[in-house]
Amino acid sequence: MCPLFTLRVIFCTLPLLSVPVHCQCTKTPIIFNFGDSNSDTGGFADGLGLNFAPPNGRTYFHQPAGRLSDGRLMIDFLCESLNTSDLTPYLDSLGPNFSNGANFAISGSATLPRFVPFSLGVQVSQFLRFRARSPALMSKGYKDLVGDGDFQNALYTIDIGQNDLAGSFDYLTYAQVVDKIPSFITEIKYAIWNIYQSGGKNFWVHNTGPLGCLPQKLALHGQNASELDEHGCLHPLNNAAKAFNAQLRALCEQLRPQLINATIVYVDLFSIKYDLIANAPNYGFQNPLMACCGNGGPPYNYNANINCGRTGHTVCNEGSQFISWDGVHYTEAANAVFAAKILSTNYSSPEVNFNFFCNKM
Ligand SMILES: *[C@@H]1O[C@H](CO)[C@@H](O)[C@H](O)[C@H]1NC(C)=O
Ligand SMILES: *[C@@H]1O[C@H](CO)[C@@H](O)[C@H](O)[C@H]1NC(C)=O
Ligand SMILES: *[C@@H]1O[C@H](CO)[C@@H](O)[C@H](O)[C@H]1NC(C)=O
Ligand SMILES: *[C@@H]1O[C@H](CO)[C@@H](O)[C@H](O)[C@H]1NC(C)=O
Ligand SMILES: *[C@@H]1O[C@H](CO)[C@@H](O)[C@H](O)[C@H]1NC(C)=O
């Protein structure tokens, strides 16, 4: 194992104290996650009855596992850091275990349009239904659910926005995409408010990654050298992601004084991901802009008609250090680095650990 992947000793820093306190989760930590394929642990596969094809899942699960990656996602590593099992998708109807929370994230999800499965607002509606039904079912003797008192101690994690930006670039100019960003941020604001009003107090918000470094985007729009930055990423797409992130950070700052007794942690995933792509060799990675699994070969190995898992795809050797799995999603090796960086607290504002909420139990 590369030392970079070793998760550091976990310290709990209470938001208002500067002294780090060594701490453990004394009860089962409970997490509710909302988002897209960056954190979908099987919801799309459960909901549509359609698992992602091999070689998805090959590295860790040794079979497709409802994740768009060769292995674990960031959320899986974050759960491991709390010694809790992987989050069960809300749509898992076959013996689900929700005792440590539920995952509402579905691949392809965006904040808008509203009311369309599985937009962020729909995911929050599903959560509110879970919020109401779970304690009622427990009182009837059902097991492996979340009790009434545990929702306010739970952690609510949100990672969404990438599909809003990516989808907008399909038919809008850069300026028009930037004009739409406030409408995406407003949906995230509603989501946080609705969860807060149901009793949630601990929020963990990931910003959006460098869209312009995805092999998929580069294969489709990367021919114009004047749009590429020093590391070969598309700066219009990355600038839109940065504009989104500036507004998301401002939203978190705006909500902190409004949501009494809540903690809202904003995590700069853009910097974490861009740093790995820009400095890939320092981390033992190669070909930061090329998909491991895809079609077409260098420079990007991405072909929209022959995606990873489709007949005709090629895949890098197991053990080779690629950052991009399929041109859009990251490899387990990259996700492990991202999770270690998240857990370092260097990219969090305020600088609290992922397990900060365990103290409140
Ligand atoms: C997870 O388990 C390890 C080993 O028992 C322990 O040192 C660590 O504090 C635990 N982490 C949490 C967040 O409980
Ligand atoms: C559900 O998960 C919890 C915590 O991980 C565990 O204690 C419990 O045994 C599980 N239930 C079943 C039926 O496996
Ligand atoms: C290349 O990108 C620049 C900057 O966005 C733009 O002005 C120019 O029209 C583009 N050229 C082509 C051939 O698309
Ligand atoms: C905030 O927490 C304090 C102390 O637990 C409590 O007295 C107060 O009612 C809480 N306020 C709100 C708005 O939740
Ligand atoms: C976090 O920041 C500290 C201090 O700048 C640095 O020593 C450490 O390497 C950083 N950790 C990560 C994972 O970036």
Domain count within the chain:
1
For ligand 3, atom 7: residue with the closest CA? 226
Residue 299 placed within a domain: yes
Q: Is residue 148 part of a domain?
A: yes
Range from 170-174, 181-185, 356-360 carrying the lowest mean pLDDT: 356-360
pLDDT tens per residue across span 102-152: 999 999 999 999 999 999 999 999 999 999 999 999 999 999 999 999 999
Residue from 223, 224, 234, 238 to probe ligand 3 pocket by mutation (most atoms less than 8 Å from CB): 224
Containing domain of residue 125, as a range? 9-359
Whether residue 263 lies inside any domain: the answer is yes
Mean pLDDT of 77-99: 97
Report which of 51, 183, 31, 195 is spatially closest to residue 110, judged by C-alpha positions.
183
State the average pLDDT over residues 217-229: 93
* Ligand that lies nearest to the alpha carbon of residue 88, given by its number in the listed order: 2
CB 225 within 8 A of CB 219: no
Q: Which residues pair with 234 in a beta bridge?
A: 228
Do the domain assignments include residue 349? yes
198 burial type by CB count under 10 A (0-12 exposed, 13-18 middle, 19+ buried) = middle
| Active-site entry in 36, 37, 46, 348 | 37
pLDDT tens column, 293-339: 999 999 999 999 999 999 999 999 998 999 999 999 999 999 999 99
Q: Are strands 314-315 and 101-103 parallel, antiparallel or unpaired?
A: unpaired
- Residue 3, in any domain of the structure: no
DSSP label at 281?
G
Can you name the residues that pair with 157 across neighbouring β-strands? 33, 204
Using DSSP's 3-state secondary structure scheme, residue 40 falls into coil
341-348 LR contacts (CB < 8 Å, sep 24+): 341/272, 341/275, 342/74, 342/78, 342/267, 342/269, 342/272, 343/7, 343/8, 343/10, 343/78, 343/81, 344/8, 345/13, 347/267, 347/268, 347/269, 347/271, 347/272, 348/265, 348/266, 348/267, 348/268
* Residue 305 near ligand 3, beta carbon < 6 Å: no
150 within domain boundaries: yes
Active site residue 70: no
Does residue 257's CB lie within 6 angstroms of at least one atom of ligand 4?
no
Cβ atoms of 90 and 103 closer than 8 Å: yes
Cα distance between residue 272 and residue 340, in whole Å: 10
Query: Residue 360 — pLDDT band, cuts 50, 70, 90?
Result: low
CB 289 within 8 A of CB 324: yes
Q: Which residues of 82-92 are buried (b: 16+ CB within 10 A; e: fewer)?
A: bebebbbbbbb
DSSP E strand boundaries for 254-360: 263-267, 293-294, 314-315, 348-349
Q: Give the residue ranges of DSSP H helices in the chain.
A: 43-48, 74-81, 120-139, 162-169, 174-197, 215-221, 235-258, 269-278, 332-343
Residue 92 has what pLDDT? 98
Question: Residue 256 domain-assigned?
Answer: yes
DSSP 75-130: HHHHHHHTT-PPPPBTT--SS---TTEEE---TT--S-STTSTT-HHHHHHHHHHH
**82-85 CB contacts, 8 Å cutoff, 24+ apart:** 82/25, 82/29, 82/31, 82/354, 82/355, 82/358, 83/25, 84/25, 84/28, 84/29, 84/31
Tokens representing 14?
């209470």
The string of pLDDT tens digits covering residues 241-267 is 999 999 999 999 999 999 999 999 999
Q: Looking at residue 174, which CATH number applies to its domain? A: 3.40.50.1110
Percent of the chain at pLDDT > 70 equals: 93
Q: Is the CB of 349 under 6 A from ligand 2?
A: no
Burial of 11 (0-12, 13-18, 19+ CB in 10 A): middle
The CB of 226 under 6 Å from ligand 3? The reply is yes
Ligand 1, atom 4, lies closest to the CA of 83
Q: What is the pLDDT of residue 5?
A: 33
Q: What is the pTM of this model?
A: 0.93
Instruction: Please state the atom number of ligand 1 nearest to the C-alpha of residue 355.
Output: 13
Contact 324/215 with Cβ under 8 angstroms?
yes
State the pLDDT at residue 26.
84
Question: How far apart are the C-alpha atoms of 317 and 292, rounded to whole Å?
Answer: 8
Residue 168 included in any domain: yes
| Bridge partners (DSSP) listed for residue 156 | 32, 203
The amino acid sitting at 31 is I
Region 80-109: mean pLDDT is 97
